[in-house]
Amino acid sequence: MRSTPLLTLATLLLALGVPAAAQEREAPAARADTLIREDLPPEVAEEIVAFFNDPRTLHFSGRTRIPGERSVSGDVAVLGGPLVIAGRVEGRVVVINGSVELLPGAVVDGDLTVVGGEVTGLEGARVGGEVVTYSERLRYSHRGDHIVRRDRYRHGEREERDRDGLRRGQGSLTVSGGDYNRVEGLPVYFGPTVETGGSNPFRIRALAVYRTEEGPFLRTERWGHDVTAEQFFGGHRSFRVGAGVFSLVAPIEAWHLSDTENSLSTFLFHRDFRDHYERKGWKAFATLEPRGTPWSLTAEFRSEKHRSLPVGDPWSVFNNGDAWRPQPLVGEGRLNSVVGRAELDTRNDPDDPATGWLVRGEVEHAVDSDLERPAAFRVTLDTPPGFIPVPALEYGAFTRGLLDVRRYNRINADSRLNLRLLVGGALDGVLPPQRQHALGGEGSLPGYSLFQFDCGARFERLALRVPALGEETESFVPAYGCDRFALLQAEYRGRFDFHFDWRGHGWDDEDDEEDDDWNDGRSWDADLDWVLFMDAGRGWAGRRGRGEETAVDAGVGLLLDEFGVYAAIPLRQGGGVNLFVRLGSRF
């Protein structure tokens, strides 16, 4: 053991904060009838001014009250305010730089838009259209009866904006742990992130990586880096271009389990569900992500060198004395590739989706590749083991793709049907191990053991050199998995709604007759979700050898919020029950 367990534990706990941050994702804009926005977009400001200047609009200025018995026909615009509505407005209402108070019984038939103010009293009033408030005030000047929008940055305010932009820029120092794994141990990331202010900021993040495993303390193998600079364009952070240099240990496939799950499993149970390789190089990219839309596109060019990495000897809470699972040998050398990525996300809630689509696609085309698996020695099972030379294996150019399609459906208030189709692999050429796919294990086909469907990649052991007398053999497996794969996952989620109510009237069943009572007896509730799931998957080896038969498993699970205990059983090829825990939804 080369790392201090307590230090490792402490840093791992800190590291758990990182996924939490990464998951802090704003829900995609679902249809909302009340919208509160901080900023006033220029196009909205123009619409507000046009609305006010429209001769058909009824104008008011300053404190305005529409009495209870009064009904106003047509659109209403109020400058300054506040506007108090007790009666009815048969049209739209816009209040500029003022607030609206809706008294009980107030009615607005159209949209209610407030700029530089707020709306109160919605609970007792009725608004037929949308209620939208913008906290930012409208900057305007009078031109006779009309108002004209003032450009925020005219009249010598450019300097003020620049100063403001710099003021709003931010810098921070990051010290955090990465994903605990059997190659690096705990990678510790540290370094500054600097972002300028304004709507088109420039951002640079320069992180050094220190690994608690791999090589002597001060040798270069212990250190990595990840530096990315990005410039945003077009306002609203919708488009950005960037470039970066990196030297990282990367997982070959990361979609099976979350980072947190894999880190905890490695740290606690000596089970690393991922294989890793080293990437060093640079990249340039452009990302289009229009604000308010559910999709994004990224194009990236990468020039990098890959290298196989042996397992380290990180500490684990249980089974610390066991040997770690060997790493695969990957195609080593230079790879220049072009990558395209697209994502469509219409889920109502990314953390707990009940409806919507999530579609992710990625295509990588190797434009120049000299990757080859290095010459090695096949390790025989004899005692002592024999070493048979194996020549290097070249991989040419290739094109690969990965498509992940998920659909979330609510069946009723208490149940959901979720589906996922994941396909990927070679579109052209033969894939090097670091681009192959393996199925089996809790993250894909939990009824089967880890990487049970790897197209024979782990059938034998290789060593890069013959060990000296008495030295332990540093062994690898010759590949990672299959050239192509497909995985279909389906799950039906329901809910046990334990309800104990000693006043005798609990929540009505949804199909009971309509009832708008509160059902407010003192009661205790325990919401526990259950899940029935089924998975089917298959791998194809392409030109390399044997493929895999279709594997099917099924299982059940109990979920308390995001924590789930599952049992899975294979329906083909035989095997026992696998009982396992997940710390998030399966997909």
Q: What part of residues 510-569 is at the interface with other proteins (CB under 8 A)? A: 510-512, 514-520, 522-527, 560-561, 563, 565
Report the residue number, 32 or 367, with the smaller CB distance to other proteins. Answer: 32
Report the residue number, 203 or 493, with the smaller CB distance to other proteins. Answer: 203
Does residue 410 touch other proteins according to CB under 8 A? yes
Does residue 293 touch other proteins according to CB under 8 A? no
Q: What are phi and psi of 542, to 5 degrees?
A: 65, -135
Q: Read out DSSP for 317-372? A: SSSTTSPPPPEEP--BEEEEEEEEEEEEE--S-SSS-SSEEEEEEEEEEEEEE--E
Residue type, 316: S
Residues 160, 578: Cα–Cα separation, whole Å: 64
Residues 399, 337: Cα–Cα separation, whole Å: 9
Within positions 448 to 507, which residues make up the interface with other proteins, using CB under 8 A? 449, 507
Query: Using the rule CB under 8 A, which residue among 57, 193, 399, 573 binds other proteins?
Result: 193
Report the residue number, 227 or 390, with the smaller CB distance to other proteins. Answer: 227
Helix (H) or strand (E) segment spanning residue 267? helix 259-269
Q: Read out DSSP for 31-90? A: --SEEEESS--HHHHHHHHHHHH-TTSEEEESSEEE-TT-EEES-EEEES--EEESSEEE
The pair of three-digit structure tokens given for residue 371, joined into one six-digit string = 């990757």
Q: How near is the Cβ of 256 to other proteins at its closest, in Å?
A: 15
How many angstroms from the chain centroid is the CA of residue 563? 18
Within positions 52 to 91, which residues make up the interface with other proteins, using CB under 8 A? none
Nearest Cα neighbor of 566 from 552, 554, 576, 556 is: 556
Q: How near is the Cβ of 510 to other proteins at its closest, in Å?
A: 5
The secondary structure of residue 561, as a DSSP letter, is T
Query: Using the rule CB under 8 A, which residue among 71, 174, 293, 320 binds other proteins?
Result: 174
Report the residue number, 263 or 369, with the smaller CB distance to other proteins. Answer: 263
Q: How near is the Cβ of 389 to other proteins at its closest, in Å?
A: 37
Within positions 154 to 173, which residues make up the interface with other proteins, using CB under 8 A? 170-173
Query: Using the rule CB under 8 A, which residue among 355, 399, 473, 573 binds other proteins?
Result: 355
Does residue 205 touch other proteins according to CB under 8 A? yes
Please identify, among the stretches 77-85, 118-126, 366-374, 463-471, the one whose residues bind other proteins according to the rule CB under 8 A: 118-126
Query: Using the rule CB under 8 A, which residue among 61, 293, 380, 412 binds other proteins?
Result: 412
Q: How near is the Cβ of 123 to other proteins at its closest, in Å?
A: 3
CB atoms within 10 A of CB 195: 17
Report the residue number, 56 or 522, with the smaller CB distance to other proteins. Answer: 522
The secondary structure of residue 473, as a DSSP letter, is P
Please identify, among the stretches 31-39, 49-57, 140-148, 154-162, the one whose residues bind other proteins according to the rule CB under 8 A: 31-39
Q: Buried (b) or exposed (e) across 448-459, using 16+ Cβ within 10 A?
A: bebbbbbbbbbe
Does residue 133 touch other proteins according to CB under 8 A? yes
The pair of three-digit structure tokens given for residue 307, joined into one six-digit string = 């290298």
Residues 525, 417: Cα–Cα separation, whole Å: 24
- Is-contact 266 182, C-beta < 8 A? yes
Nearest Cα neighbor of 71 from 112, 106, 101, 95 is: 106
Query: Using the rule CB under 8 A, which residue among 8, 11, 18, 84 binds other proteins?
Result: 18
Q: How near is the Cβ of 84 to other proteins at its closest, in Å?
A: 17
Residues 57, 74: Cα–Cα separation, whole Å: 7
Q: How near is the Cβ of 87 to other proteins at its closest, in Å?
A: 17
Please identify, among the stretches 88-96, 156-164, 229-237, 379-387, the one whose residues bind other proteins according to the rule CB under 8 A: 229-237
Q: How near is the Cβ of 29 to other proteins at its closest, in Å?
A: 9
Does residue 192 touch other proteins according to CB under 8 A? yes
Report the residue number, 229 or 464, with the smaller CB distance to other proteins. Answer: 229
Report the residue number, 332 or 491, with the smaller CB distance to other proteins. Answer: 491
Dihedral angle of Cα 317, 319, 321, 323, to the nearest 10 degrees = -120
Q: How near is the Cβ of 366 to other proteins at its closest, in Å?
A: 26
Residues in binding contact with other proteins, number by CB under 8 A: 95
Report the residue number, 3 or 298, with the smaller CB distance to other proteins. Answer: 298
